[in-house]
């Protein structure tokens, strides 16, 4: 602490100091100091107190020490000790007061800078991934764990890959079920991701395990249908692939996608590119199979189509159907996303309303 160097106000003790003598004097002063110290409430009063008592030039303690010359030599020792005691008392008390005032000042400063912690925080403006993308990622991840890779292909396709190679006979009503969108030049928008299976079969040798996620298109536009929607198809071709393997794979996949309690049911059906073909139902996730509004009281929900790859498809792609067999399946992504996120209408998936999109979490 630096000495202010300024003189304190003339103190009575100073004036009296000339006549002061004997050891009792500093002791009296101790009581006086204590009274004054007790009245100190802030930093300025403390500073004044300090200068008045222990100021280097005019402080009372300094004057007392100077007065030692006026004291009888025999009393000097006692006098000196008394002054020193006073000095120590004063300094200790001043230090304690300093501490106390500092503490009070810090508390006051803290009180002044208190924030309203209930004000809203500034959140980083993060974005979101589309619900369809998220569901596709999840399906890809499940199949990756079963050893599948992801295959992709063009969205504008030709008749051969979309129909011919998939055993749709030329000019057969089976094609009518697909409501195809055509380009002017005879090409078409793929109606399913099955052409990717064909491209895979044509370019690779078994064993093959792929899934084919992607956008597909139909000439169909109403409250329940969108002209563009999304599919994930799968294909496994190897020696010794069985119908049981198809069931086991779908069961593993659907139990991970929905819940471990999910049961599946296969109903024989018809697709040109598989035989036997089947529609697959899962137990309704809403009512766990008891029957509710979501599943029209049946306890089951139709979720995908599947089958054993038709030998004509394999042979057409140069794979010997007498050696290899395989299964294929395909499911819509959009309805799974709608279910998962509580979106009632497929068209809402393509409105791109940020108020909806930004709520979607992985």
Q: Crossing angle for the helix pair 131-145 and 334-341, nearest 10 degrees?
A: 110
What is the number of other CB atoms lying within 10 angstroms of the CB of residue 34? Answer: 12
From the CB of 309, what's the least distance to another protein, in Å? Answer: 9
- CB-nearer residue toward another protein: 70 or 358: 358
> How many Å apart are CA 362 and CA 354, to the nearest integer?
16
Smallest gap from Cβ 200 to another protein, in A, equals 10
Residues 269-298 that bind another protein (CB under 8 A): 269-270, 272, 275-279
Residue 293 or residue 362: which is nearer to another protein going by CB? 362
Nearer to another protein, 77 or 160 (CB): 160
Site for another protein in 56-85 (CB under 8 A): none
Which residue stretch of 30-38, 58-66, 71-79, 305-313 sits at the interface with another protein (rule: CB under 8 A)? 305-313
How far is residue 66's CA from residue 344's CA, in Å, rounded to a whole number? 97
Shorter beta-carbon distance to another protein: residue 208 or 331: 208
How far is residue 157's CA from residue 167's CA, in Å, rounded to a whole number? 16
CA–CA dist 243, 248 (Å, integer): 9
According to CB under 8 A, which one of 1, 9, 74, 125 is a site residue for another protein?
Answer: 125
Near another protein by CB under 8 A, which window of 54-62, 88-96, 100-108, 181-189?
Answer: 181-189
The nearest distance, CB 113 to another protein, in angstroms, is 15
Binding mask 147-166 for another protein (x = CB under 8 A): xxxx-x-xxxxx--------
Rounded distance between C-alpha atoms, residue 246 and residue 129, angstroms: 31
Footprint of another protein on 192-221 (CB under 8 A):
207-210, 215, 217, 219, 221
Side-chain half-sphere of 181: how many Cα atoms within 13 Å? 15
Stretch that binds another protein, among 4-12, 25-33, 56-64, 128-136 (CB under 8 A): 128-136
118 binds another protein (CB under 8 A): no
Strand partners, 263: none
29 is a contact residue toward another protein (CB under 8 A):
no
User: Smallest distance from the beta carbon of 344 to another protein, in angstroms?
Assistant: 17
Among 27, 96, 129, 294, binds another protein (CB under 8 A): 129
Dihedral angle at the C-alpha atoms of 263, 266, 271, 273, nearest 10 degrees? Answer: 80
What residues are paired with 274 via a beta bridge? 271, 309
Closest among 228, 316, 232 to 272, alpha carbons compared:
316
Residue 127 contacts another protein per CB under 8 A: yes
State which of residues 39, 112, 114, 171 lies at the interface with another protein (CB under 8 A): 171
Total chain residues near another protein (CB under 8 A): 91
Distance, in Å, from the CA atom of 23 to the CA atom of 351, rounded to the nearest integer, reads: 97
Cβ atoms of 354 and 337 closer than 8 Å = no
Which of 1, 109, 110, 126 lies at the binding interface for another protein (CB under 8 A)? 126
Neighbouring-strand partners of residue 211: 150, 234
Integer angstrom CA distances of residue 278 from 302, 306, 327: 11, 5, 11
By beta-carbon proximity to another protein, the closer residue of 72 and 116 is 116
């Amino acid at each position: 602490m630096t000495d202010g160097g300024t003189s304190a106000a003339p103190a009575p003790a100073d004036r009296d100091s000339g006549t002061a003598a004997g050891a009792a004097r500093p002791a009296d002063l101790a009581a006086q100091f204590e009274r004054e110290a007790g009245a100190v409430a802030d930093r300025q009063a403390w500073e004044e107190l300090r200068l008045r008592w222990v100021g280097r030039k005019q402080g009372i303690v300094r004057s007392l020490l100077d007065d030692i010359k006026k004291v009888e030599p025999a009393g000097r020792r006692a006098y000196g000790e008394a002054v020193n005691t006073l000095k120590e008392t004063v300094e200790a008390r001043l230090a304690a007061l300093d501490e106390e005032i500092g503490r009070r000042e810090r508390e006051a400063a803290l009180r002044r800078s208190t924030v309203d912690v209930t004000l809203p925080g500034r959140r980083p403006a993060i974005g979101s991934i589309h619900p369809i993308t998220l569901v596709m990622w999840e399906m890809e991840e499940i199949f990756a764990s079963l050893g599948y890779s992801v295959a992709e292909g063009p969205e504008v396709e030709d008749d051969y890959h979309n129909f011919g190679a998939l055993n749709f006979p030329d000019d057969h009503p089976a094609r009518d079920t697909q409501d195809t969108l055509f380009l002017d030049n005879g090409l078409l928008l793929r109606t399913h991701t099955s052409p990717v299976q064909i491209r895979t079969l044509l370019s690779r040798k078994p064993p093959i395990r792929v899934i084919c996620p992607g956008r597909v298109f139909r000439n169909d536009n109403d409250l329940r249908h969108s002209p563009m929607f999304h599919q994930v198809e799968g294909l496994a071709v190897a020696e010794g692939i069985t119908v049981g393997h198809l069931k086991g794979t779908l069961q593993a996949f659907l139990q991970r996608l929905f819940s471990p309690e999910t049961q599946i049911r296969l109903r024989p059906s018809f697709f040109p590119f598989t035989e036997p073909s089947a529609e697959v139902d899962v137990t309704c996730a809403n009512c766990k199979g008891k029957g509710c509004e979501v599943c029209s009281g049946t306890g089951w929900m139709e979720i995908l189509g599947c089958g054993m790859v038709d030998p004509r498809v394999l042979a057409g792609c140069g794979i010997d159907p007498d050696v290899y067999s395989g299964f294929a399946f395909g499911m819509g992504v959009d309805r799974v996303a709608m279910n998962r996120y509580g979106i009632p209408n497929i068209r809402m998936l393509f409105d791109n309303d940020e108020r909806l999109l930004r709520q979607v979490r992985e």
